[in-house]
């Protein structure tokens, strides 16, 4: 909707610049606190703001963003800190500021509205609502004055205000129509029970490969996002069908990302996305969920191919999380900002002179050649470190030993990192989100076993314990966010689904009973709170949640897997471990409920298709039982996690644990450690073959399972 209005050349609005803290000062969200001293009379979302809008019959201006959002900071500096613009906002609107990471339910609802109105979305999101919370006009970033074909924010504010006064019936009709459209989006045509087949996975893989960038890797054009769920789906497609195109697409993408500027070559970890098509220039913010999902993808690629470079990237990424994104109590932080000292990327980029000064002329010259550091720079007259050529090629060109070059560069990277650590770092959002922590718990647990880093498994255990101790109420329900000693906000679907999956993976990696017991308990709560009994699948908000404009459903993967897909993933895996048919039935119904999404938008269905691949495949259940303190259990876990076995679940236990857990994990019932030795029971749908004894017996049994990698580890680093 566009308002055809005139705006004065100069604003003549009386105002009083008030730099005292506004209502956001009492919040814990770093994003909201960033706006606590704006002259805007901000409210957090809540009864006070909504009641005032109704009482004064004023529209609501709803601004949604997050702490690491670059353009959110820009709009704050340009508009929300401007006294004249703030006066317009305060005079004509009830202004509400929301952290999308705290309130993804509101973000989903109103982002859908903005996308329907404008054809695009993003953050900051700016949307105008009636006092009944119905959206009638919106957009994303607005400049402070008319620029680049966009109306200036003052023009927008005055236009909406005048329309509210002069064209109220039209606005209310438009808002009601948009609300009905949003509610209709929540219903999908039901799929046929059992209608999903491997053919849907094959079709999705073909579609992904049609959009694959064979030169730079990834899918589509700039800006380019990593798509970890799609990459993991293609790994499974290769393992199941032998499709080498699928594997080649994954390998090229992972190689290019790990060598590009989107990867932090000094500190580890991945930025949010690349602004170009060759992974050079990142949007520098780092998100916990991206690094969890990408670490998992690199681990799986290592398991499938044996390429140690993938293990190396995953290890560096998770060490970054341990070093910079982990709370002393065990939970994982949310984000690091793109900006430092108000400048995007300043913390990460280098000049050639800096590199030569730190490393010396000879080693500095070599480092500059390897990492694309030049006098003119590769981005805004500075340099983003990246690897345009493999180390093997440079070593050959200069007649150098590749391993020696790799070692020298590692020392040089450490020197540069030490200097970088003295710079002003990007702001960090230290709130702990249950959903994102669930993803990282799974990544740490699997990586710790696959790459044999016990520290990662320990970190997963500490985080899981922190969440269960601090973000689960006495009624068994989860809370969404924790900051400054306060846990708050009802948990959403992905809080439950991601944490259940993380706990299940952690149990499989450790055999610790607490994790599987908690996963089962949370699954029962999730089904009771979120399941749609009539259509199948899950609502995004629980029955106990506040009433909103709609009760959204999360059908589509975005930067994170959809809540519905993760619920299916978690329930199907848990069902395979516990034998509970009710969990399997509910998980499969969640996939059947999104059949139309899988068929029409496979690129947004990667996690649903991963769950479908698991459900359609013959799942092998391994019960590994050993005498207490048997050292062979360590070797058994190494053997199980080294290959890529996407259709295997593992129930490890000591003999005493097996007895204790037999009620929750029937796979362990009547499964003794025979003759006092490590014993493995290989089962399918709980029908077990003759058990194998000892580590050698387990290794032989694993060789017969599908998905075992064809090759061993690479001999040398490839970077």
DSSP 156-215: HHHHHHHHHHH-HHHHHHHHHHHHHHHHHHT--PPPPTT---HHHHHHHHHHHHHTB-TT
Condensed to tens digits (0 to 9), the pLDDT of residues 492-545 reads: 999 999 999 999 999 999 999 999 999 999 999 999 999 999 999 999 999 999
The sign of the dihedral angle between the CA atoms of 142, 146, 148, 149 is positive
* Annotated domain spans of the chain: 23-185, 348-422, 620-703
CATH architecture of 620-703: 3-Layer(aba) Sandwich (3.40)
Q: What percent of the chain has pLDDT over 90?
A: 88
Condensed to tens digits (0 to 9), the pLDDT of residues 69-81 reads: 889 999 999 999 9
Peptide bond connecting 174 to the previous residue in cis, omega within 30 degrees of 0: no
At 593, is the pLDDT very low, low, confident or very high (cuts 50, 70, 90)? Answer: very high
At 717, is the pLDDT very low, low, confident or very high (cuts 50, 70, 90)? Answer: very low
The sign of the dihedral angle between the CA atoms of 325, 326, 328, 329 is positive
Q: Mean pLDDT over all residues of the chain?
A: 93
Q: Give me the residue label for tokens 């009864």.
A: 47
Q: Which helix (H) or strand (E) holds 274?
A: strand 273-274
Mean pLDDT across the stretch 53-61? 97
Q: Which of these, 2, 103, 158, 7, lies nearest to 435 by C-alpha position?
A: 103
pLDDT for the residue numbered 625:
96
Condensed to tens digits (0 to 9), the pLDDT of residues 241-262 reads: 999 999 999 999 999 999 999 9
Model's pTM, two decimal places? 0.93
> Coil, strand or helix: which one is 643?
coil
Q: Which fold has domain 23-185?
A: Glutaredoxin (3.40.30)
Tell me whether the CATH fold assigned to 23-185 matches the one assigned to 620-703: yes
Residue 309 to residue 258: CA distance in whole angstroms:
9
pLDDT for the residue numbered 148:
79
Mean pLDDT across the stretch 27-48? 96
Top pLDDT among 100 and 630 is at 100
Condensed to tens digits (0 to 9), the pLDDT of residues 310-339 reads: 999 999 999 999 999 999 999 999 999 999
Is-contact 432 483, C-beta < 8 A? yes
Peptide bond connecting 29 to the previous residue in cis, omega within 30 degrees of 0: no
Is 15 a residue whose pLDDT tops 60?
no
Mean pLDDT across the stretch 351-362? 98
Widest pairwise Cα distance in the chain:
90
Is 686 a residue whose pLDDT tops 90?
no
pLDDT for the residue numbered 4:
32
């Amino acid at each position: 909707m566009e308002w055809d209005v005139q705006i004065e050349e100069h604003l003549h609005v009386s105002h009083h610049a008030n730099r005292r803290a506004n209502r956001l000062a009492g919040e814990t969200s770093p994003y909201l606190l960033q706006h606590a001293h704006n002259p805007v009379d901000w409210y957090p979302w809540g009864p006070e703001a909504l009641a005032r809008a109704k009482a004064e019959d004023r529209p609501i201006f709803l601004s949604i963003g997050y702490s690491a959002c670059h353009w959110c900071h820009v709009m704050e500096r340009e508009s929300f800190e401007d006294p004249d613009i703030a006066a317009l906002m305060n005079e004509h609107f009830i202004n509400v500021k929301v952290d999308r990471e705290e309130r993804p339910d509101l973000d989903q609802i109103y982002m859908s509205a903005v996308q329907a109105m404008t054809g695009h979305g993003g953050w900051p999101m700016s949307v105008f609502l009636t006092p009944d919370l119905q959206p009638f006009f919106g957009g994303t970033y607005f400049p402070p004055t008319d620029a680049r074909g966009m109306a200036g924010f003052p023009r927008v504010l005055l236009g909406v205000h005048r329309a509210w006064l002069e064209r109220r019936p039209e606005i209310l009709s438009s808002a009601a129509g948009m609300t009905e459209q949003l509610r209709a989006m929540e219903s999908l045509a039901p799929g046929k029970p059992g209608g999903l087949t491997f053919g849907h996975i094959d079709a999705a893989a073909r579609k992904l490969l049609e959009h694959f960038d064979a030169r730079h890797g990834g899918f589509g054009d700039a800006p380019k996002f990593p798509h970890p769920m799609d990459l993991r789906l293609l790994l499974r497609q290769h393992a199941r069908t032998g499709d080498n195109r699928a594997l080649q697409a994954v390998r090229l993408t992972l190689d290019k990302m790990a060598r590009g500027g989107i990867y932090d070559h000094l500190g580890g970890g991945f930025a949010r996305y690349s602004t170009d098509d060759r992974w050079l220039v990142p949007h520098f913010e780092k998100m916990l969920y991206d690094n969890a999902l990408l670490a998992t993808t690199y681990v799986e690629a290592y398991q499938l191919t044996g390429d140690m470079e993938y293990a190396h990237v995953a290890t560096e990424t998770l060490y970054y999380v341990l070093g910079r994104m982990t709370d002393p109590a065990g939970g994982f932080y949310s984000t690091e900002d793109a900006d430092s000292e108000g400048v995007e990327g300043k913390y990460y980029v280098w000049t050639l002179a800096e590199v030569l000064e730190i490393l010396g002329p000879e080693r500095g010259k070599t480092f500059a050649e390897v990492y694309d550091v030049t006098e003119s720079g590769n981005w805004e007259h500075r340099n983003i470190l990246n690897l345009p050529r493999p180390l093997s090629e440079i070593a050959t060109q200069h007649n150098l030993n590749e391993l020696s070059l790799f070692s020298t560069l590692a020392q040089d990277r450490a020197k540069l990192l030490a200097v970088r650590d003295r710079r002003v770092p990007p702001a960090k959002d230290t709130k702990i989100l249950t959903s994102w922590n669930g993803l990282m718990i799974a990544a740490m647990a699997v990586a710790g076993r696959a790459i044999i880093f016990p520290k990662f498994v320990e970190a997963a255990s500490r985080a899981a314990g922190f969440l269960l101790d601090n973000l689960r109420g006495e009624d068994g329900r989860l809370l969404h966010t924790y900051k400054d000693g306060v846990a708050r906000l009802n948990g959403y679907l992905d809080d439950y689904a991601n944490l259940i999956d993380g706990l299940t993976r952690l149990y499989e990696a450790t055999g610790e009973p607490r994790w599987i017991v908690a996963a089962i308990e949370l699954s029962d709560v999730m089904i009771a709170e979120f399941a749609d009994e009539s259509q199948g699948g899950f609502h995004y908000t629980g029955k106990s949640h506040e009433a909103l404009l709609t009760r959204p459903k999360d059908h589509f993967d975005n930067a994170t897997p959809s809540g519905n897909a993760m619920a299916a993933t978690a329930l199907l895996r848990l069902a395979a471990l516990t034998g509970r048919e009710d969990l399997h039935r509910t998980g499969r119904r969640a996939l059947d409920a999104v059949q139309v999404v899988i068929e029409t938008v496979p690129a947004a269905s990667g996690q649903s298709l991963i769950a479908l691949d698991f459900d359609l495949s013959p799942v092998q259940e391994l019960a590994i039982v050993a005498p207490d303190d048997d050292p062979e259990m360590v070797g058994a876990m190494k053997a199980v996690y080294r290959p890529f076995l996407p259709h295997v679940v593992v129930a490890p236990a000591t003999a005493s644990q097996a007895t204790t857990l037999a009620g929750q994990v029937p796979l362990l019932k009547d499964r003794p450690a025979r003759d006092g030795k490590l014993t493995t029971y290989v089962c399918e749908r709980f029908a077990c073959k003759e058990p194998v004894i000892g580590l050698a017996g387990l290794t032989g049994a694993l060789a017969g399972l599908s998905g075992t990698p064809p090759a061993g580890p690479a001999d040398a680093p490839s970077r």
